[in-house]
């Protein structure tokens, strides 16, 4: 039976899901996920979602890390591709807002649930292409590096037993 009481909470987006859905065991704990996106976010940085003894993870504390990005497409989109892009990206977890006008995608998202790299992948799957110029590619790579660094700094670190003075 799929009753609500038999469901477990996805640690990334906090949706209630079937305990066997996209399930993994991590450090002796069982987790299930609503989507591959949430499962991948967890596997990439589990300590954003589960804390250590005496220390809650950012997600457990209810934190959001909102990011606003502007991505330039290689060309303006037809109405059909624009609608596909918006639908695909809005279906992702953590997307707060998306506007697409004149070949520019303005997006606001929670970094604890989605990354720019995941958003770029969804844009490509919609049939749209991001700008190909070197400056655009470097800019996106730099943003991805900054996001990875910020995420690593947010992760709860296991406490060492050594005392340093």
Under 8 Å CB-to-CB from 108, ≥6 apart: which residues?
66, 67, 68, 95, 96, 97, 98
pLDDT at residue 159 greater than cutoff 70: no
pTM metric for this prediction: 0.78
Task: Give CATH for domain 66-154.
Answer: 3.30.70.100
pLDDT value at position 151?
A: 83
Provide the residue ranges of all domains of the chain, joining segments of one domain with +. 4-48, 66-154
**What pLDDT was estimated at residue 150?**
86
CA–CA dist 9, 31 (Å, integer): 8
β-pairing, 16-17 with 8-9? antiparallel
Question: pLDDT tens across 17-67, in order?
Answer: 999 999 999 988 899 999 999 999 999 989 889 887 788 888 888 889 999
pLDDT in tens, 74-106: 999 999 999 999 999 999 999 999 999 989 999
Q: Give CA separation, 96 vs 43, 61, 82, 108, in Å.
A: 23, 19, 18, 5
């Amino acid at each position: 039976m799929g009753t609500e009481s038999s469901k477990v909470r996805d640690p990334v987006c906090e949706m209630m899901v079937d305990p066997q859905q996209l399930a993994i065991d991590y450090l002796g704990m069982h987790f299930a996920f609503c989507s591959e996106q949430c499962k991948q976010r967890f596997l990439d940085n589990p300590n954003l979602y589960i804390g250590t003894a005496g220390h809650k993870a950012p997600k457990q504390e209810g934190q959001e890390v909102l990011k606003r990005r502007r991505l330039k497409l290689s060309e303006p989109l037809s109405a059909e591709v624009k609608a596909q892009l918006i639908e695909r990206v809005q279906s992702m977890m953590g997307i707060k807002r998306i506007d697409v006008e004149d070949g520019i995608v303005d997006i606001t998202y929670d970094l604890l649930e989605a990354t720019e790299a995941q958003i770029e992948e969804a844009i490509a799957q919609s049939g749209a292409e991001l700008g190909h110029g070197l400056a655009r590619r470097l800019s996106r790579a730099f943003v991805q590096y900054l996001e990875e660094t910020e995420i690593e700094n947010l992760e709860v670190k296991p406490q060492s037993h050594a005392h340093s003075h």
